[in-house]
Amino acid sequence: MSLAVCPGSFDPITLGHLDVVRRARGVFDEVVLAVAHNPAKAYLFDLEQRVELARGALDGLDVRVDVVDGLLADYCREVGAVAIVKGLRGGADYDSEQPMALMNRHLSDVETMFLVGDGALAHIASSLVKDIASHGGDVSDLVPPAVARALHDAFPHPGAQR
């Protein structure tokens, strides 16, 4: 049985993330969406919210959501992962992901598999989604519905509900 881990902070989970996870699920017997938890990092949504939003977004996809509290390499060893799956939107993503892939392989012997994201979703990044939402923009075509509602609640704008 092959198990792959799709790691990330998922702050918040986007349609681009879902695309990668769906396609990874078609390749591997089991996929775990591993929500990273770094106490030194500032997140819009706390760990419980990110996990809850991810679980809701993945409902019906037979993908487990779990928390990674330490090194991803250690987590992969613990769960018996054969691969780490990362989505790439372009060359800049590869440039930032490649050293991490090499280090994870060095630490755990787990290979990283890069999936090229759907071109129609390549412009979607969690940081951009948060920026748009913080200015009252519509993100409903970038994230699952529950995430759009959570972002709307996180960034209330006067006059938005007339």
Chain centroid to Cα 107, Å, comes to 22
Distance CA 18, CA 58 (A): 7
> Is 106 annotated in the active site?
no
> Is 89 annotated in the active site?
yes
Longest distance between any two alpha carbons in the chain, whole Å: 56
Distance CA 86, CA 4 (A): 10
Catalytic residue among 9, 17, 86, 130: 17
Catalytic residue among 25, 89, 108, 130: 89
> Is 41 annotated in the active site?
yes
Tokens of 76: 């992969």
How much of the chain is helix, strand and coil, in % rounded to 5? Answer: 45, 20, 35
Using N-to-C axis directions, what is the helix angle for 145-154 and 47-57, rounded to 10°? Answer: 150
Catalytic residue among 9, 25, 108, 126: 126
Catalytic residue among 41, 106, 135, 162: 41
Residue count of the chain, please give it: 162
> Is 126 annotated in the active site?
yes
Distance CA 157, CA 13 (A): 22
Active site residues: 17, 41, 89, 126
